[in-house]
Amino acid sequence: DQRGSGRSRPLASDPDADLRANTTPHLIADIEALRELRGVDRWTILGLSWGCTLGLAYAQTYPNRVNALVLGFVTTTSHREVQWITEDIGRVFPQEWERFIDAIPGHLRHLRPVEAYARMLADPDPIVRDLAAREWCTWEDAHISLTPGHAPNPRYQDPELRLRFARLVTHYWQHAAFLDEDQLIRNAAKLNGVRGVLIHGRFDISGPLITAWRLSQRWTTCRLQILDDAGHGGGNRFVPTVIDALDELASF
C-alpha cells in the first residue's frame, strides 16, 4: 500500500503523521524495493489517474525494469493541471466551486485553494479537519459528475477515509507531485522502446485530454485510445478497454 494509506502506517489521517517522507521519490523507491523483494526482473505497470503520474515517474526512472504500461485517466499532476482542477474548472461548476471556496476561512484566503485545504486538513482542531475533508471530497464528486452514470462515491461517507484521501491528495497536489513542471512530458522519450497504451475519456473534464495527447506526441511507442463516451470516472467501456490493452501488451 502507498505510504499513508491502506495497511501502511502511520496513516495520513493521523494528525501527527509527518508527510515529509511521503513524496514521489520515496514512492518510486518503495516500488523498486518491492520489485527487488519479489524477484521480478521486468513488469507491466497499470496506473489510473494519480497512479498514471506515479507509474510514469517510476518508468522514467527505471525504464529497463518496465515491460509495458497501461495508463488511464492520464494525468501528470503538473502545476497547470492542479490549477485547472482546483481553480479554473470552477467556470464549469460555479455553484459547486463557490461552496468549495466558501469553506476556506478568511485567514487562508490568500493561499491557493489546494494550499489552504492542506493547511485545514492538518489543523489541530478535528472539527476543522473533518469539515475540510468533507468539502474536499464533495468537490471531487462534483468535478467528475459529467461521467455517464456517475453516482457520489460511497467511500467518502467514511470520515477516516475521506480525511486520509484528502490529506494525501492536497499534500501531493500542492507540491505538483514533487516533480519539475512538465517533467513527465519532457522526459517521455525515455520510454521510447517501451510499449504503452493511454486510455482517456473525451468527457474527462477533471483531467482534459490535452495531457494524454501531449504525452503521446513524445512517447513514440505508445498508443492513445480515446473513449468518446467516458469521463474521469470511467464509463461502460473503460474496464473492458483496460483489459484488452493488458491482453494486447501481454502478447509481446
The closest alpha carbon to 223, from 203, 181, 182, 252, belongs to 252
Query: Which of the residues are catalytic?
Result: 49, 204, 232
H/E stretch holding 226 reads strand 222-227
Helix 79-86 with 159-174: angle, nearest 10 deg = 130
How far, in whole angstroms, is CA 54 from its chain's centroid? 8
Encode 154-188: b = buried (16+ Cβ within 10 Å), e = exposed: eebeeeebbbbbbbbbbbbbbbbbbbeebbbbebb
Neighbours of 99 (CB within 10 A): 14
Judge whether 115 and 87 are in contact, CB under 8 Å: no
- What cell was used for 197? 497504451
Residue 73 sits at the vertex; the CA angle it makes with 169 and 87, to the nearest 5 degrees, is 50
